[in-house]
Structure 1
């Protein structure tokens, strides 16, 4: 089976973030009790102000603290950026709460295998 180059370059959190930055996802977001916060100017977005265009999960081979999830986010005012969180016991409660409230979530296939169905 031939491996897809996109799949190969998206295997680590760093390579995935780098690919998203190239694709225009340059904003860094954080979650607070008030909502999603831009690291650039502290503008806060509510759950209806964002669309999760994709997300990627990474699992550490031996350490549960290596489990993370990367969200690719677009805001209603045109910003594109990322938010990284742990998942499982190390997850940030603010991120978890916010993501549960976001209704616009799209998961795009990482490679062409989904087209074979």
Structure 2
């Protein structure tokens, strides 16, 4: 596991490892390619994650990047989120996968 200094380094390093998709969190799935792929909780795995804290201790200055793969769809990419960004609209299965 790499030891990245910041979010940008992590994203660049993961991209070099083939994690080229940009995943976004939806209500019950992850989406990429403008919604062309919608991955349910059982269709992807979190290969690794990296947490970063900014200069302040404020929650909005903290983030995590997930390296995600889906052998079923032959996709690899990243999901970037802020700590505590989960809302009531995201299903428990997706939240559990990202813990």
Q: Which band: TM-score by shorter chain? A: 0.7 to 0.9
Q: Determine the C-alpha separation between the residues in 2 that align with 1:31 and 1:45.
A: 10
Match of 1:28 in 2: 22
Paired residues, number: 93
Return the match for 2:77 from 60, 78, 81.
81
Give CA-to-partner distance per residue, 1:51-81, whole Å, 9 cap, x none: 1000000012315211001000001221000
SS at match of 1:20: helix
CA distance in 2, matches of 1:85, 1:73: 13
TM-score by length of 1: 0.70
In structure 1, the partner of 2:52 is 58
**TM-score, length-scaled by structure 2:** 0.82
Structure whose residues are more often strand by fraction? 2
**What CA distance in whole angstroms lies between the structure 1 residues aligned with 2:76 and 2:86?**
21
Greater fraction helix: 1
C-alpha displacement at 1:83, in angstroms? 0.2
Which structure 1 residue ranges, 4+ long, deviate > 6 Å from structure 2? Answer: none
Gaps of 5+ in 1: 1-5, 106-117
- Measure, in 1, the Cα distance between the counterparts of 2:22 and 2:91: 17
Over alpha carbons, which structure has the higher Rg? Answer: 1
